A and B are shown apart, each in its own frame.
Chain A
């Protein structure tokens, strides 16, 4: 464990970079994600990440399924029988001025008192079955674009035995393809299950190497924002200086809670959490595990000093045992 990286949220400066640029990161506001997957596509295009399976998963609109060696942005889709904030389903919208409502962001539309009207649309129940008029099920669709968290205390970086994983001047964590030898240690070390060894397609330059989001290190070097943030049409993915993003995220979550979305919360924003805060933080509308995120991630190397002590004790015990078995020489 490098003691210097324990001190706070300026990992680049702590590691000895001379006057590094401000730490860069993402703020992914899932409340405005529309699930278009432009981020997934832009990421693949820019970083030349190969195709990694065209399958139908049955998981809502999510056929990507999760982050991996060849998926550096992943959009999760969650269908829930819950309402989004004070939103109601099956409302009639005649006489509602949507533009006026949008003007006052913190107010919610008044509950409709009007009866439902049959518009002749296809039903949601089996043909012949009685439509359950007036007993609408609350429903919401959560979408979240997941990405490498670029942790302040990054387990993948700590355990890498070749130095292939390194901390950039922007405070991000990147794999050097020409150094990595594919030992795979970073894969089980990551508390978020982000980094992975690329298995195919054969002929790809990075097969056998650990792969993950670089926060578009090459684009950052050229003063460009990462491809996913650039492509996001709703600004659900925001890129910037981490300090600014933390403030922006706080303002946004307060706004949502005031508007009645009491499930809104930030994830990864706290520098005192188990990974020292993340470079990519999220605004979520439900518990982290609903989105496939760990509820309380901890960098495994936090426990490493204790582990080394136990291993040393075990080794000394074994050495002592080895000497002891030779002590009584005369007896067989």
Chain B
């Protein structure tokens, strides 16, 4: 291997274009140091994409839980609050587990920095977690022994649950969207290039997942808002993903190649199918099978959201490992600047 290997940016792997049209623009060539990566891929393991999914699920579920609380849908409220607690609990586990020194997780609380999305996220979760927790715990009021139910605790808990649930619902969308900034605020080419539309993909995916969970765990007569959230979220996810990819140039390639490419393709299929099943489950004419269709649709949406997060995470890792995605966009930027300075 020569040191300054010049490769064609499209070479090596075939780039699959939507309708098989041939590009009239010559593929960019670039040079690298023995093909070695320039930027480093994040050291994050599966914990982080799992957290991206769980954080979104929690945020969306809190929204659903508060709405159900205010509109008198106790079964939906209960399932959404419990989903939120489970998901945020899983998030905390994943985040601490991924640290190089898990015992030092509280060092995150030493500082608050707007320049660090992870610091901002830490404080959002610190505020959100206990609220989601209290809202879920208040669901246990009915299970308390009779004498406790009449005590101060028993009388106070449902109200506290409503207040906490509303606060969690206010913070939920922030939990779901900040994670897009978390990964976009890096030198990882595909994540950074996706920065404009990634928050919309993430909130769409979060809403679809939360709606899906609502459909799975609540009775049909209360599930209408969950169904709407699921369908609207899935649509937002698919539309935002499309917009995002069209504006990314060469850094969109990792979204279509390798394992991440397969995951993202699966994600789109599952999200589309899930939304269709969820919508079908809302048609009264379907009769007895509505619950089953809704639950299946919800399951597809949850699986789709998981695939979206793992796919986007993996695509970023893949883009960091190939110097092409670092060099080619930077070269284009430099050439654009040169042309702006010295128009031919």
A interface, CB within 8 angstroms of B: 1-2, 57-60, 62, 65-66, 68, 76-80, 142, 155, 158-164, 179-185, 187-197, 207-210, 286-287, 289-297, 300-301, 303-304, 306-308, 310-319, 321-326, 328-329, 331-332
Interface centre among A2, A192, A315 (most CB of B within 10 A): A315
Which secondary structure dominates chain B's binding surface? helix
Bound CA span A289–B323, Å:
9
Q: Which residues of A contact B174 (CB under 8 A)?
A: 315
> A292 and B36 in contact (CB under 8 A), knowing A181-B104, A181-B108, A319-B173?
yes
Cα A323 to Cα B67 with chains together (Å)? 7
Determine the distance from Cα of A57 to Cα of B31 in the docked complex, in whole angstroms. Answer: 19
- Pair B115/A1 contact, Cβ less than 8 Å: yes
Cα(A58)–Cα(B173), bound, Å: 51
A190 engages B40 (CB within 8 Å): yes
Say whether, besides A159-B117, A183-B100, A289 and B38 are in contact (CB < 8 Å): yes
Given contacts A58-B1, A159-B185, A310-B195, contact A182 B221 (CB under 8 A): no
A57 to B220 CA separation, bound complex (whole angstroms): 62
Chain B residues near A191: list those with CB within 8 A.
Answer: 39, 187
| A300 vs B233: C-alpha distance when bound (angstroms) | 29
Given A306-B195, A307-B184, A318-B207: A1 and B99 interface contact (C-beta under 8 Å): no
> Within 8 Å CB of A161, what residues of B?
108, 111, 113, 116, 118-119, 122
Does any Cβ of A come within 8 Å of B177's Cβ?
Answer: yes
CB neighbours of B224 from chain A (8 A): 328, 331-332
Residues of B bordering A, CB below 8 Å: 1-4, 30-34, 36-44, 59-60, 63-64, 67-68, 70-71, 98-102, 104-105, 107-108, 110-111, 113-119, 122, 169-170, 172-174, 176-178, 180-181, 184-188, 191-192, 195-200, 202-203, 206-207, 220-221, 223-226, 228-229, 232-233, 236, 282, 284, 316, 320, 323, 326-327, 330-331, 333-334
Closest to A310 in B: B199
Contact partner of A326 among B3, B107, B225, CB < 8 A? Answer: B225
| Given A193-B39, A329-B71, also A184-B200 (CB < 8 A) | no
Min Cβ gap B273→A in Å is: 21
Q: Which B residues are in CB contact (< 8 Å) with A57?
A: 34
The verdict on A326 contacting B115 (CB below 8 Å), with A79-B3, A311-B180 known, is no
User: Taking A155-B187, A209-B100, A325-B228 as contacts, is the C-beta distance between A292 and B173 under 8 angstroms?
Assistant: no
B327 vs chain A, min Cβ distance (A):
5
A156 CA to B181 CA in the complex, in Å?
15
Counting chain A CB atoms within 10 Å of each CB, which of B43, B102, B196, B282 scores highest?
A: B43
Closest to A77 in B: B3
